[in-house]
Structure 1
Amino acid sequence: MSQFIDSQPFDAHPDTCSRSKLRKHLRKRRRSLSYEQQQQASEHLALNLLNNPDLHRARHIAIYLPNDGEIDPGLYMDLAQRKGIRFYLPVLHPIHKGRLVFSPYSDDIELRPNRFGIPEPAFSNGLRRPAWALDAVLFPLVGFDENGGRLGMGGGFYDRTFAFSRLRPGLAPKLIGLAHDFQRVGQLPIEPWDVPLHGVVTDRRCYRFSRPSTT
């Protein structure tokens, strides 16, 4: 019988729990999920994404291939592609270190592991889509809170790539983090370099931040 995974928020006040310890705890917890639990989470995530108003008009969406126990957006992608939505995978920029470019993704695209061991398309100037030309970006989180605070892997790739959204919010795509709902924590600090999220979508619900702020 289908049932949700326990999603009680982890008490992660920054004064008592370092970001590195919290990251380790949450990554271990999501890696411990069974195949059946991951499949169930993927199904519920797909429904929540299909019903998310921030994505109703999106036609060009950046997405990711799950790794390290991340929640799997694959079912959503399969369903959305039938509606003509095009998807793009992040690719490490070979020149501008710490930044991402986005290449079209389909089942027949050849993928190669990057330096982190994550499969990605080959870098191509002809096939890239600029970050500002995306309608939405769905990216994995390690942790998040209900105020828009978030915890990633610590590389800062998305923050550097979408830093322009601070100065030109009208050009910014919808930035939406994806996670298992148990990755919600009590409180996270919002760092000065964190690019604000429009929302977070989990296997249980959608969290929307109507006016994201770094203050």
Structure 2
Amino acid sequence: MNTYLPSQQSNQTRNQIRHQMREVRHRLTTFEQQQAERCITEKALNLVEQHGCQTVALYLSFDSEISTESLIKKLWQEKINVTLPVLHPFSRGNLLFLKYQSDTIMQKNRYGILQPKLNVQNVVPLEQIDIIFTPLVAFDKNGNRIGMGGGFYDRTLQHWQQKSFLPVGLAHRCQQLDNLPTEIWDIPLAMVLTD
């Protein structure tokens, strides 16, 4: 069940959760991070196979998120198309997804996160993506997620039940809370894969 709090109180609570969960994630050891990456990679590959995916959206890890490097390489080996999010240049607060290959030219966006250099020929429409693997800061048992606060993924995942893709979060087990405060624009995920 969603808990709707007054907006100012909700924002304060959500920011506290962001801060606390990022601290928890930063305290993980290199060994714990590597174990999590192996476990998540295996689970994600199984899910991709079960759904017969041809194209998936991923993200490059940032700020102690579970590394997606191994998963991306294994997807390439399996001839699965990989896309990465790019901040939309004209529609503020929205994402585009671009093909990502080993020779893709990369650049940092305004948040300091690497993304493919914008080339309209490499844009992949959402209708062609089978799974969107999303980053998150915290999640709960109902699939609610808290991200970094920009709302990019919430806008992308709107009405996903009527679209062709499945939204799946990737997270450390320690990022799970019982219940998150939610707002009406929050979009729950279909599932979250953890270590």
Segments of structure 2 that go 5 or more residues without pairing to the other structure are none
Structure 2 CA distance for partners of 1:18 and 1:54, relative to 1, 3 Å = farther
Paired AA for residue 181 in structure 1 = R
Give the root-mean-square deviation of aligned CA atoms. Answer: 2.0
TM-score by length of 2: 0.88
- SS of 2:120's equivalent in the other structure is coil
CA distance in 1, matches of 2:131, 2:159: 15
Matched, 1:140 2:123: no
Q: Deviations over 1:144-194 (max 9, x none)?
A: 1111221111100011123253xxx34241000111011000111332112
CA distance in 1, matches of 2:110, 2:141: 33
CA distance in 2, matches of 1:150, 1:54: 25
Question: What residue in structure 2 maps to residue 188 of structure 1?
Answer: 180
CA distance in 1, matches of 2:127, 2:37: 28
CA distance in 1, matches of 2:147, 2:22: 10
From 83, 98, 110, the equivalent of 2:93 is 98
- SS of 2:182's equivalent in the other structure is coil
Q: Note the C-alpha offset of 1:55.
A: 5.2
Paired AA for residue 14 in structure 2 = R
From 53, 57, 76, the equivalent of 1:81 is 76
Paired AA for residue 66 in structure 1 = S
Question: What residue in structure 2 maps to residue 152 of structure 1?
Answer: 147
From 21, 29, 39, the equivalent of 1:34 is 29
Question: What residue in structure 2 maps to residue 123 of structure 1?
Answer: 118
Q: Note the C-alpha offset of 1:195.
A: 2.2
TM-score by length of 1: 0.80
Identity of aligned residues (%): 37
**Count of aligned residue pairs for this structure pair:** 187
Structure 2 CA distance for partners of 1:177 and 1:55, relative to 1, 3 Å = farther
List structure 1 runs of 4+ shifted beyond 4 angstroms. Answer: 14-17
Structure in which a larger fraction of residues adopt helix = 2
Q: Note the C-alpha offset of 1:54.
A: 8.0
Q: Note the C-alpha offset of 1:51.
A: 2.4
CA distance in 1, matches of 2:55, 2:182: 28
Structure in which a larger fraction of residues adopt strand = 2
Paired AA for residue 175 in structure 1 = P
